[in-house]
Amino acid sequence: MPLMDVSDLKMFYHTSAGYVRAVDGLTFKVDSGKGLGIVGESGCGKTSIAITLMKILPRNARIFGGKIIFNGEDLVPMKESEIRKNIRWSGISLIFQGAMNALNPVFRIDDQIAEAIKLHEPGVSQKEAKERIGKLFELVGIDPSRASNYPHEFSGGMKQRACIAMALACNPKMLISDEPSTALDVIIAAQILKLMRELKERLNLAMIVISHDLSIVTETCEEAAIVYAGKVAEFGDIYGIFKEPLHPYTQGLLSAFPSIKAQKTRLISIPGSPPDLTRPPPGCRFHPRCKYAMEICRKQVPALIETEQNHFAACHLVNPVSGGEPSNG
Amino acid sequence: MDELLRVEKLRKYFPVNLGFFRSLTSKNEIFVKAVDNVSFDIKKKEIFGLAGESGSGKTTTGRLVLRLIEPTGGKAIFEGKNIFDQQVDPRTLRRQMQMIFQDPYESLNPRFTVYDIISEPLKIHHVFHSEKQIEDKVIERLEEVKMTPPQQFLLRYPHELSGGQRQRVALARSLILDPEFVVADEPVSMLDVSIRAEVLNLMFDLIQKHNVSFLYITHDLALARHICDRIGIMYLGKIVEMSVAEKIVYEPLHPYTKALIIAVPIPDPNAKRSEAVIKGEIPSPINPPSGCRFHTRCPSYIGDICRTKEPELVDVGGEHYVACHLYGK
């Protein structure tokens, strides 16, 4: 049984212009010890997915349907107090985008982490918390003697490491990280990605990595979900997706990316820009930018279909192999 | 060889503000050596890339060669004249040298329409005498950057444009005076992946069409290799390696270049994950390490010579320059 099983999840923001359909029928699974990468452009609802899974929604956002089964329990109908007690931090924790600004500048780093520990595990004393922080710092590769520093005394890479340590403070089963390496330099980013890979294996964590950068996802994850305008366009094993991308959007993303090692070819861009999510296009949401768009694409929303073992795509061009069952998309 | 710009021993030291009390106690002024004895040349119609981590001095170099800031020392010879000469009027230079900035959300005046933005250089330099000629030229450039029909965009303000469109306006503005040399400082780093390819291709086509030389500043080596003819790798204010793009990527010599290339994430799950990421972060440019500035992080440290003697940038054959004691005589 997967650790997290999300099906047909919908989360909309209520704005003066109408509902923004940021997460619209999202379906995926994550296992312990495995990484899932969520890839998409800005404005396609990536960060909205993260805050929906944690249920830390702003006041104008609401979950309109679907299930988030985590460890056998559905998080959607669960009470806020229960989620805070049993799920957040001890079950799922989140590393926010821009770790440099996620730490409070006027508190010492160990005090900030201790606060989280004591809030979620009231029995822990200050001394035990500090000991645990020392171990966490060793785990993420910072000298434990620096624990009582202030955030401004840390470099960008160290702050990101401290944020990872903080996320791991209550032994979560799952770690969600939103753009873990943007705003970091190449070498520092490579160090952080390596750390995340090691932690995933050592602690048997389920990991969700949210990024606009396909290469970051391939460095850290085994599976990927390509998201376009709040919906999953393609999902599956990362080797399958790279070997044979099925959705035109995935194909476009792959050819828009320069690789340092591959043959030098002209980059191929995807014309147009992502749609306005208050009024998403009818049918397949990608059809206005798709070079293969057919009549049916304008009318009917394609279902997410399994074409081969652990490779799903939501596109009218893709025919299911015999025996493939359409899943709810 | 047709040389357009030759930079010789360019230096820029920024004084550090110590504050009142420390300035009383310390005798010497302290400087950030942002650019320290940098020499390179750019040939006609060439795209020269400067790559490195943040803090390596690449942006400062870009600004110096346009004389947007005054240097501490050194020369930049553009078409036979040293542009830092006091007799040279910067305004005559700007007609031949232009710049594209990193952030299209801040480099366009929000109170100007697209027409105002693109025509402003023409008006400053009194290129045409009638408004009609200016208008024709602006429309021609807008068509070139694929903002069609141009009439639809002329009276729009930057806030009505997407990021990709803004950067295309910036591109049109930089080319309106038919310059010979353009400095582009990370022109696509703020854009989405699918749009990035489009802007890059457009830029590349226009460079070919107008025979412009480009100085392309970037932290992304995959991108640099994709569009540049030659690349210079900078570390702490110095060029450590310089060669044609393919050689930098496939046969890097300097240990820092090797580390940079290893650190670039590859969008292919089958690629081999190398674990040899160098440790630590870029040191402060206020007190750079003695000798070779990379010796504190270098995996191929060969002894005292690295700590005491600064390596020169030497030609190892085939227009491949490297500053490292491993290759010096």
Residue (of A28, A26, A77) closest to A208 by Cα position:
A28
Nearest to A187 among B194, B222, B277 (CB): B277
Asked whether residue A323 carries a pLDDT value surpassing 50, the answer given is no
Q: Which amino acid is at A35?
A: G
Q: Which of A189, A194, A273 sits opposite B275 (nearest CB)?
A: A194
Determine the structural domain holding residue B26 and report its residue range: 3-44+54-89+225-266+274-322
Residues in chain B: 329
Any domain includes B138: no
ipTM of the shown complex: 0.81
Look at B221 and A215 and tell me if their CB atoms are within 8 Å: no
At residue B174, the pLDDT reads: 94
- Crossing angle of helices A109-120 and A126-140, rounded to 10°: 120
Distance CA A131, CA A115 (A): 14
pLDDT digits (tens, 9 = 90+) for A187-237: 888 888 989 999 999 999 999 999 988 888 988 999 999 999 989 999 999
Does position B88 have pLDDT exceeding 90, yes or no? no
Q: What is the pLDDT of residue B276?
A: 63
- Confidence bin at B1 (pLDDT 50/70/90): low
Architecture (CATH level 2) of domain A4-91+170-249: 3-Layer(aba) Sandwich (3.40)
The three-class DSSP label of residue A296 is helix
Q: Is the Cβ pair A242, B270 closer than 8 Å?
A: yes
Tell me which of B145, B193, B228 to substitute to probe the interface with A (most A C-beta atoms closer than 10 Å). Answer: B193
Q: Is residue B197 part of a domain?
A: no
In percent, the amount of chain B with pLDDT more than 70 equals 97
Transcribe B47-106 into DSSP letters.
EEEEE--TTSSHHHHHHHHTTSS--SEEEEEETTEETT-TTS-HHHHHTTEEEE-S-TTT
Are B134 and B122 contacting, i.e. CB atoms less than 8 angstroms apart? yes
Query: DSSP assignment, residue A153?
Result: G
Within-domain flag for B169: no
Query: CATH number for the domain including B317?
Result: 3.40.50.300
**Around Cβ A82, how many Cβ atoms within 10 Å?**
11
More confident residue, A8 or B329: A8
Candidates B190, B194, B256: best to mutate against A (most CBs of A within 10 A) is B194
Total domain count, chain B:
1
Taking only the tens place, the pLDDT of each residue in A137-169 is: 999 989 999 999 999 888 888 899 999 999 999
Is the confidence at residue A324, as pLDDT, over 70? Answer: no
DSSP for A167-221, please give it. HTTT--SEEEEESTTTTS-HHHHHHHHHHHHHHHHHHT-EEEEEES-HHHHHHH-
pLDDT tens for B156-178 read 999 998 888 999 999 999 999 99
- Establish if A263 touches chain B: CB-CB under 8 angstroms: no
Residue B79, phi-psi category: left (phi > 0), alpha (psi -120 to 50), beta (remainder): left
Is B122 domain-assigned? no
Q: What is residue B273's predicted lDDT score, i.e. its pLDDT?
A: 65
Counting other chains too, the contacts that A13-16 makes at CB distance below 8 Å and 24 or more residues apart are A13/A48, A13/A58, A13/A60, A13/A61, A14/A60, A14/A61, A14/A62, A15/A60, A15/A278
Residues B157, B112 contacting (CB under 8 angstroms): yes
Tens of pLDDT, residue by residue over B34-64, are 999 999 999 999 999 999 888 889 999 999 9
Q: How close, in Å, is residue B184 to chain A by CA atoms?
A: 18
Given a contact cutoff of 8 angstroms between Cβ atoms, the answer to whether B311 and B241 are in contact is no
Lowest mean pLDDT among A125-134, A224-233, A295-304, B268-277: B268-277
For chain A, what's the residue count? 329
Average pLDDT, chain A: 88
Is residue B196 situated within a structural domain? no
CB of A297 closer than 8 Å to CB of A284: yes
What sign results for the dihedral spanned by CA atoms B148, B151, B152, B156? Answer: positive
* Dihedral sign (CA A214, A217, A218, A222): negative
Q: Where are the beta strands (DSSP E) in B142-272?
A: 181-185, 213-218, 230-235, 238-244
Contact A254 B281 (CB under 8 A): no
Chain-chain contact of A218 with B267 (C-beta, under 8 angstroms): yes
Q: Is residue B295 part of a domain?
A: yes
